[in-house]
Amino acid sequence: MRKRQMATGRARMPATPPQFWLWTLVIFAAFAGIYWWVSESKLSSAKSRTLARQRAMAQTLGTKLIPFRDDVEGWALELAKQPWMGNDVADGADLSKVQREPAVYLRLRMENAKDGKSLRSAAARSLRDGFTSCFFRQKDGVDPRKGPPCKAQADCDSGLLCNEWDVCTRPAQPYNLRLAFRALRVLSNEWSDEVNQAGSELALRVYNRDLDRTTKEDVPIAAEVLERARYLTIVLDEDPVDGLPPPAFDAGPSEPDETEEERIRRARHQARVGIWDLETKQRVFAYRVEASGRLLPVGGGRATDPRTLAAQERQSNSCALALAVKSQFNAAQAPAPGSSAGEGGDAGAVDAGSRP
């Protein structure tokens, strides 16, 4: 009879006791709990090792870089204060030294110079520009646009820097503080918080590689340059009275958009320039002036590409700002007759329309 029931599919198998499923669930839950505890313990230990390396780096390399960063942030916030502190040229300030001695440079939108966090974020977008080209003088003849191509600092030989033009060169005058702020990012509390929030060992590896790269590539160059630097120049661009101008062109899917900083710099706007002596930690120059220049084409036709036109407008405004700063220095130093003509030779094809 039973064989007939099994053959016809009507046989009933014994029911599985409920205790079996209960114990199975308990075993799987215990296994998952143990696995989670072991994984979290390993991840926590790995985070501790990463943060220990960060602290060691801060003790050895950060002793010079962190105080310098704090000074820069304090001075930038001072320069951004409202109302304007007033134009000032310190007694004994020497324009030729400021132009030729090793220097560091930072240019920001003033809107981003409200606190340390926003300033550090904006510093990552600081680039050499028309102001540096028209104001500073190269003593070693380094052309920051020429050198072996690079995509990262690791592509460059020791002592060379992968700069904003994606070429390997010796650090050029002035040194862009964007690179120093990038190096110091791994020593910040924000970076530590990101490490603590990493959810897996794979995510943590990204921070370890970041720390390795910064330790080997960015920090040594930043420390060397800042050790030699004599002056710091900060330029803060105020927003135009009428607000940000619209983008000058429609960027394609593979092209970078025009940044807010770039849009401000191609428009007429007020800019603040502060210069500090890094040996005495004293401000030697403060000036607020309109950055407004006019490009005078020399030979050939006028450019029609909107990207080129936007770049030319930024260049002429920034160069006009540099010429206004030099004029302010010269006026304070009561130059000898004929020196103003020498300065006029720096203007090139830019008609400086800046006025105090």
Q: Is residue 167 part of a domain?
A: no
CA 266 – CA 316 distance, rounded (Å):
8
Asked which of 90-94, 166-170, 177-181, 314-318 is least confident by mean pLDDT, the reply is 177-181
pLDDT given for residue 301 in this prediction: 63
Residue 300 has pLDDT above 70, yes or no: no
pLDDT given for residue 163 in this prediction: 77
Mean pLDDT is highest, among 31-45, 84-98, 117-131, for 84-98
Kindly state the tokens that stand for 46.
């790995």
Q: How far is CA 184 from the centre of its chain?
A: 10
The more confidently predicted of residues 351 and 80 is: 80
The more confidently predicted of residues 43 and 20 is: 43
Q: Is residue 159 part of a domain?
A: no
Q: Is residue 92 part of a domain?
A: yes
Tens of pLDDT, residue by residue over 186-214, are 888 888 999 999 888 888 999 998 888 88
Tens of pLDDT, residue by residue over 12-23, are 556 667 776 777
Mean pLDDT, to the nearest integer, of 81-98? 94
DSSP 218-247: IHHHHHHHHHH--EEEEEEEPPPTT-PPPP
Q: Is residue 11 part of a domain?
A: no
pTM: 0.77
Residue 87 has pLDDT above 50, yes or no: yes
CA 99 – CA 335 distance, rounded (Å):
16
Q: Is residue 265 part of a domain?
A: yes
Q: Is residue 214 part of a domain?
A: no
Residue type, 169: T
> If pLDDT is split at 50, 70 and 90, which confidence band does 353 have?
very low
Backbone φ and ψ of 190, nearest 5°: -65, -40
The more confidently predicted of residues 350 and 57 is: 57
**Would you call 200 helix, strand, or coil by DSSP?**
coil
Burial of 87 (0-12, 13-18, 19+ CB in 10 A): middle
| Residue located via tokens 């000032």 | 88
> In the chain, how many domains are there?
1
Q: Is residue 296 part of a domain?
A: yes
Mean pLDDT, to the nearest integer, of 155-173? 80
Mean pLDDT, to the nearest integer, of 120-140? 84
pLDDT given for residue 128 in this prediction: 74
Tens of pLDDT, residue by residue over 224-279, are 788 889 999 999 999 999 999 998 888 777 777 889 999 999 999 999 999 999 99
Mean pLDDT of the chain: 82
pLDDT given for residue 194 in this prediction: 92
Residue 347 has pLDDT above 50, yes or no: no
pLDDT given for residue 290 in this prediction: 97
Q: Which domain holds residue 102?
A: 72-137+229-247+260-352
Mean pLDDT, to the nearest integer, of 28-35? 72
Q: Is residue 82 part of a domain?
A: yes
pLDDT given for residue 36 in this prediction: 66
